Every structure is written in structure tokens, then in C-alpha cells.
Amino acid sequence: MKYPFDLNPLFENLKELRVKRVGLVLPEGLKIYADYISQELKNRGYEVIVSGNFNYGACDVYDTQFDDNCDCLVNFGHSPLPVESKIPIIFVEVDFTFPYMEMLKNNIDLLKDQGKSVGLVSTVNYVKELPKVKNELEKEGFQVLIGQGNNRVKHPGQVLGCDFSSASSISDRVDFFIFVGEGRFHPLGVAISTEKEVFAFDCDGIYSLNDYKNKILKERFGSIFRAKDSRRFGLIVSSKKGQMRMSLAKILKKKIEDLGYSADILLMGEVSPDKLYGFDYECFVVCACPRIGIDDLKRYKKPLLTPKELDILLYEKEDYIMDEIEQNDL
């Protein structure tokens, strides 16, 4: 079995930290390797505890329950975020090869119709493929730009589910974007936050995000409309360190109360429909991962808005802004 990572740098980091007890945190797609990684660590004398929680990103790695049982945490598949923790966190990035390079080459004429200047974006697992894609596009006469994000983003061109700053930093200098990777949420975020055409790839081909973006925006404005008569708001704050936007929630609470409505802050770990079922609030606002309100919309019976959507509701703003986590929100 071929493993998409090299453990030797991890062993060196653990040796430097002089730790004995290791907590292992894996996203769903890499949990299949938990036994292999654990065994390799145990072979070198480490005690291992494997997290059984879902892991959605670097914002979701640190759990205080590990403090008494582990000397450090090791997370596979994500790049580091500026998150405070009582014990050290080691991030092991996992690199994948972009599987649609031939598809890119075969659709050059389609891309040329969009303009000459293109921005490249990717998730961390494919970010090291960006220079290869850039080289291929430049051979075809494109001017290719790869933006640098803010301090929450490690690599040029990298986007997170809550941060599209690497795309926004170059949006005024490109005609369109290409998302190098898989999945729809990240290129959707780029399309909404930059208002530029975004092309993505998957096993079905190369496609523009325009139709999907319009569908999602229609759904989001539908949620805002459903919340128009709300007077009682529940502001959901996650206890996960990288998502805990308590400062933002307090600001939103004041905005709501200044308009004569009521609002409470709800603190929880995992945000799920069953946790909200018994509450009598008419509308919920997610001050946690921005993906919750969009990806899980149909699972919630009551309107579930992002902080930016709350502003549209309260102040009748017309322009839609993608929710992103900023450091001063935390």
C-alpha cells in the first residue's frame, strides 16, 4: 500500500520536542491510515491516542480533552493556523497529484475564451501542483498569477473554507480563476468573494461555478427571506479554538438588541440540528465554520444565517458577501 506522506519529518519533530505521548488527529479521508501511523509511532516507543472526533480542518484540531493524556497533537492533511493550545501541535501536510492535468490541456481553447490573465487557487493538498499548472498555462500564452493570503494561510494560492484572501489579493488583476483540486465549496467561495468566473475540475470534466454559485445564492437569500420576521435570535459560537468567534458574536448580539430584538449566545462543540431542536429561537446565526450554513442548509428546520447574512437581514443590504473568519473575530 502506498502512503501519501513521509513520516520521517514527523519523527524528527517528535524527537526535538522530547515527548512520549502522542495524540493523532485525522480527517475522514485519512482515517484509513490511522492504524499504520499509530503502529509506526509505537514501534519508536511512543504512546498513541487516536482522536475519534470528526476533524474538519486546522481550526478543529485542538481539543482540551487531550491535555491530560498527550504531550502533543499530530494532525495530518492540514496546514497550521494561528491557534493557541496548551500542548504543541504538529501539522503533517499530505500532498496529492492533480489528477486532471490532461483535462486542463484538452480544454485550453475554452479557457482562452475567458481572457488572458488567470489566477490559480487550491486547497493545501494540491497547492504544490500550482507551479506545474502555471507552467502549462504560460506555455499557452496566459499570464498566470498566484496570490498570497493573510496570516491564516500558509501557502501562496491556498484557500481555506473560511479564507479566500489569496484569491481576493489578485482578483482585480485577473480575468478569471482556475481552482486546482476537487470539491465545490472552495471554488464557490472564490467565485462569491471575488465575483469573478471560476473554473473547477472533477471526474465529470471542467466547468464554470457560475450556475452553482447562482443556485447557492438563491438558497441563501431564501434563508434570509424566511428569517425576515424573526425577533428572537440564537448566536451559535463554537468551542473549537480556531472557530470560536466569541468577539464577533458579542458584536452581533448588541446589533440585534439595539434594534429592539432579543439574542442569546449558544456555546457548543459540534453544531448539529439535534442540538438546536429544543430551542425556541426563530433564527440562528452561525459564528463558527462558514460552511455549516451553506453545506448543511437543508438539515435545519429554522433559518440558519452567517454573520454577513444577518447584516443583510437587519439593515436590508443587497450585496452578498461570503463569510470568512478574521483573526479579530476570535
Q: What is the spatial distance between Cα 250 and Cα 285, in angstroms, rounded to a whole number?
A: 12
- How, if at all, do strands 283-287 and 143-145 pair? unpaired
Cβ–Cβ under 8 Å, residues 119 and 103: no
C-alpha distance from residue 249 to each of 61, 140, 162, 225, 322 (Å): 22, 48, 16, 21, 17
Report pLDDT digits (tens) over 98-133.
Answer: 999 999 999 999 999 999 999 999 999 999 999 999
Q: What is the pLDDT of residue 4?
A: 74
Average pLDDT over residues 37-63: 93
CB atoms closer than 10 angstroms to residue 64: 11
> Could you say which DSSP state residue 129 is in?
G
C-alpha cell at 3: 502512503
Give the integer Cα–Cα distance in Å for 46 and 49.
Answer: 10
261 or 327, higher pLDDT: 261
Would you state the pLDDT for residue 293?
82
pLDDT digits (tens, 9 = 90+) for 289-306: 988 988 887 889 999 999
Q: Please, are residues 194 and 216 in contact by the beta-carbon 8 Å criterion? A: no
CATH architecture of 8-92: 3-Layer(aba) Sandwich (3.40)
Count of CB atoms within 10 A of residue 278's CB? Answer: 6
Architecture category of domain 101-208 in CATH: 3-Layer(aba) Sandwich (3.40)
Domain ranges of the chain: 8-92, 101-208, 222-329
Equal fold, 8-92 vs 101-208: yes
The grid cell for 258 is: 439595539
Model pLDDT, residue 298:
82
The model's pTM: 0.91
Could you tell me which CATH class the domain 222-329 is placed in? alpha beta
Q: What are phi and psi of 92, to 5 degrees?
A: -110, 105
CA angle 35, 37, 38 (to 5 degrees): 65
